[in-house]
């Protein structure tokens, strides 16, 4: 099995392209096949090295390694021309000397397809006329002469596909400037690379009968096709920049993990046949079959992506997450690298904060109050839980600190002390917890307060409570 991903470097790697690459790659890896990367750069004006680089970077980030390539379509131009000239020589294509504007006007007048007008003009030339004009240097395009009848092929997703050839125009295969068009180049390249399976977007479905006709005219073996439905935005319209980030690089920058992105995109338009959602790359490879690509379009659900990301995040090794947290908090003057380097401390911290983070950046933010000695106090939390009634907040903090003094520093012991104190003060435990949370984390929300206390330890907790009281007094 030989598969390929054939992006045009006219833009960044977007989620639709990445999904196409993932499907081809999964099938290649499952079947022990070869995955080829071919950059289709024949549109010289719209292609750029920057886009090529972004595509390669995106593939590398996703972990989609290619076995051959990257090849550049432009390098095959001579072969594309030879194939076009061969069709011309065999009478399966013809020279079109006509002026496109004239042909268009005539086609409109006679209510015909322009290519049929061009064909009529070519066929009306006297014998030898076409060769003579070409030899004299007159410019011409080469058009493929679509035969009569119908074109059928099997699509792994859509089944038996039939197209009436009268609906297919005589496509230009070589422009008058000598450049090949996509439909010829792709056939020539896929045959040259001995590609056996082509998985690509539904937007190419109308090209496929033309390509199938070209394979047959050139006597080349046809690959098996699988056309994947579109990706839609939440509003049911084709996914575009209007819906938010569509470039793979944007997701990398947002702290999405590559394996979460691969998992998410693989499930967008494909199903493992059971109700699994969280899947590792190995599980995806084992389960993938193109027959289970769905026929209907699927909706890009960013909530699900975040959720999957959180799941994948939670199974990453502690040391790696520690490294990320350290990078995320690198600007903090009071960062406690000693704690991040302590595997036992990280093993205690991570389970508590992982469940509250769906991206690497969120994980870093969650770690901040524990990994740094200086807190950033959220002004809303300060206002709501300290400054509405400063005297009361001070009393609650002081009495809580007092109640904790001498307690064993465990969740159970601390909870006992706090609940007894609340009872003694005739108030709810929450009333004591809110100002305490701001004192310990600076934030309105945090992991469970007893988790926070134990993670911080006695000394840091007492110190923060003391600093809180000073701050409230000073304000
Ligand atoms: N270069 C084409 C594109 O980016 C893909 C062609 C193909 O997969 O056959 O849309």
Ligand 1 atom 7: the closest Cα is on which residue? Answer: 6
Name 436's Cβ contacts closer than 8 Å, sequence gap at least 6: 396, 397, 400, 449, 465
Pick the atom of ligand 1 nearest to 190's CA: 9
Q: 164-220: per-residue pLDDT in tens?
A: 999 999 999 999 999 999 999 999 999 999 999 999 999 999 999 999 999 999 999
- Ligand 1 centre distance from Cα of residue 14 (Å): 13
Q: 366-413: per-residue pLDDT in tens?
A: 999 999 999 999 999 999 999 999 999 999 999 999 999 999 999 999
From 230, 171, 154, 189, select the one nearest 6 (Cα to Cα).
189
> Could you give the 3-state DSSP secondary structure of residue 376?
coil
> pLDDT class for 255, splitting at 50, 70, 90?
confident
Please measure the distance between the N-terminal and C-terminal CA atoms of the chain and give it in whole angstroms.
Answer: 72
Pick the atom of ligand 1 nearest to 203's CA: 10
pLDDT at 6 over 90: yes
- Ligand 1 centre distance from Cα of residue 150 (Å): 24
Catalytic residues: 241
Pick the atom of ligand 1 nearest to 7's CA: 4
Residues with CB under 6 A from ligand 1: 6-8, 40, 186, 200, 204
- Ligand 1 centre distance from Cα of residue 38 (Å): 9
CATH code of the region 1-66+229-315: 3.40.50.620
Task: Please state the domain extents for the chain.
Answer: 1-66+229-315, 80-174, 316-371, 379-474
CATH code of the region 80-174: 3.90.800.10
Q: How far is the C-alpha of 302 from the C-alpha of 254, rounded, in Å?
A: 12
From 378, 58, 377, 15, select the one nearest 228 (Cα to Cα).
15
> pLDDT class for 254, splitting at 50, 70, 90?
confident
Q: Residue 253: its pLDDT value, please?
A: 87
Q: 140-173: per-residue pLDDT in tens?
A: 999 999 999 999 999 999 999 999 999 999 999 9
> Could you give the 3-state DSSP secondary structure of residue 47?
coil
Q: In what order do the strands lie in the sheet with 172-174?
A: 93-96, 141-144, 172-174
Mutating to test ligand 1, I would choose from 200, 206, 222, 227 the residue with most ligand atoms within 8 A of its C-beta, which is 200
CATH class of domain segment(s) 379-474: mainly alpha
Average pLDDT value for residue range 4-8: 97
- Ligand 1 centre distance from Cα of residue 424 (Å): 73
Beta strands in 129-181 (DSSP E): 141-144, 150-155, 159-164, 172-174
Q: How far is the C-alpha of 394 from the C-alpha of 400, rounded, in Å?
A: 10
- Ligand 1 centre distance from Cα of residue 363 (Å): 38
Mutating to test ligand 1, I would choose from 39, 204, 214 the residue with most ligand atoms within 8 A of its C-beta, which is 204
User: How many beta carbons lie within 10 A of that of residue 218, not counting itself?
Assistant: 17
């Amino acid at each position: 099995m030989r598969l390929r991903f054939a992006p045009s470097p006219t833009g960044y790697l977007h989620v639709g392209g990445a999904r196409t690459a993932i499907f081809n790659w999964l099938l290649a890896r499952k079947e022990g096949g070869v995955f080829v990367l071919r950059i289709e750069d024949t549109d010289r004006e719209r292609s750029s090295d920057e886009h090529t680089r972004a595509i390669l970077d995106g593939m590398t980030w996703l972990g989609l390694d290619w076995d051959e390539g990257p090849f550049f379509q432009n390098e095959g131009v001579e072969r594309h021309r030879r194939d076009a000239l061969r069709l011309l020589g065999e009478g399966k294509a013809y020279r079109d000397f006509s002026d496109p504007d004239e042909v268009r006007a005539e086609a409109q007048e006679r209510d015909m397809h322009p290519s049929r007008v061009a064909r009529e003009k070519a066929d009306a030339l006297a014998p030898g006329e076409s060769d003579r004009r070409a030899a004299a240097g007159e410019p011409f395009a080469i058009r493929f002469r679509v035969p009569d009848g119908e074109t059928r092929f099997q699509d792994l997703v859509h089944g038996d596909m039939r197209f009436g050839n009268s609906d297919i125009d005589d496509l230009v295969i070589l422009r008058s400037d000598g450049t090949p068009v996509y439909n010829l180049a792709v056939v020539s390249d896929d045959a040259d690379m001995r590609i056996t399976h082509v998985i690509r977007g539904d937007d190419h479905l109308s090209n496929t009968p033309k390509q199938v006709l070209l394979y047959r005219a050139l006597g080349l073996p046809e690959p098996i096709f699988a056309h994947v439905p579109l990706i839609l935005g939440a509003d049911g319209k084709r996914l575009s920049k209007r819906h938010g980030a569509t470039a793979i690089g944007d997701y990398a920058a947002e702290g999405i993990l590559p394996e979460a992105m691969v998992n998410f995109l693989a499930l967008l338009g494909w199903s493992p046949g059971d109700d699994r959602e969280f899947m590792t790359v190995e599980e995806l490879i084992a389960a993938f079959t193109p027959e289970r690509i769905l026929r209907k379009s699927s909706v890009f659900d960013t909530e699900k992506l975040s959720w999957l990301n959180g799941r994948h995040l939670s199974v990453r090794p502690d040391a790696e997450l520690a490294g990320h947290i350290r990078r995320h908090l690198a600007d903090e003057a009071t960062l406690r690298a000693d704690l991040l380097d302590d595997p036992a401390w990280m093993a205690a911290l991570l389970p508590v904060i992982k469940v509250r983070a769906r991206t690497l950046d969120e994980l870093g933010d969650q770690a901040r109050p524990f990994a740094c000695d200086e807190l950033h106090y959220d002004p809303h939390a300060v206002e709501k839980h300290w400054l509405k009634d400063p005297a009361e907040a001070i009393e609650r903090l002081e009495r809580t600190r007092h109640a904790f003094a001498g307690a064993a520093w465990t969740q159970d012991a601390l909870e006992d002390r706090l609940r007894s104190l609340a009872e003694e003060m005739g108030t709810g435990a929450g009333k004591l917890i809110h100002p305490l949370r701001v004192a310990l984390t600076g934030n309105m929300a945090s992991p469970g307060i007893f988790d926070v206390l134990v993670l911080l330890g006695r000394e840091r907790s007492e110190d923060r409570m003391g600093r809180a009281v000073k701050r409230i007094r000073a304000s």
